[in-house]
Amino acid sequence: MNKIINIIEFVYNNGITGFAKESFFRLSDYCYEKYLNVDTKGMESKEDLKLTDPDWHEYATVFYKHIFDALNKLPVDRSESTLLDYGCGKGRFLIAAATCPYKKIIGVELSSLIDLAKKNLDRMKNKNTSLIRLEQCD
């Protein structure tokens, strides 16, 4: 019943077009996760991650469509470029970037989410970047 109420509230606040876009993006993300064999979805609170500094933020995903749009706008020769993702979380941006032929990708994460990013990269399918390094540090 809560899901139905949430849907009605979402449609009321965002309209049917907003609901259709949100549904498309969620379905698209689901398909990317299956195609790449990863699990980067979800949200993790600062408290769950044991992050105490007020400048740190919770973990939340960005739709793959927006990530690929951003990657496609970078005016670089990927085969000669290193991509740095500071605050890589579970690795969604790294994973999307690794489908492209970057020379090197580096992910930096402060929290324990780095372990999930490593697991995701280890089991990832359709990888086109072979040199990927993850660092847990501030």
Residue 33, domain CATH: 3.40.50
C-alpha separations of 1 from 4, 5, 8, 53, 84 in Å: 5, 6, 11, 37, 43
Confidence of residue 121 (pLDDT cuts 50, 70, 90): very high
Residues in contact with 44: Cβ distance below 8 Å, sequence separation at least 6, in sequence order: 58, 59, 60, 89, 111, 113
Cα–Cα distance for residue pair 3/78, rounded to 1 Å: 42
Give the number of domains in the chain: 1
pLDDT of residue 41: 94
Is the distance from CB of 61 to CB of 87 less than 8 angstroms?
no
State which residues form the domain around 38. 2-136
**Arithmetic mean of pLDDT, 47-68:** 86
pLDDT of residue 21: 92
Determine which of 49-53, 101-105, 107-111 has the lowest per-residue pLDDT on average: 49-53
pLDDT at 98 over 80: yes
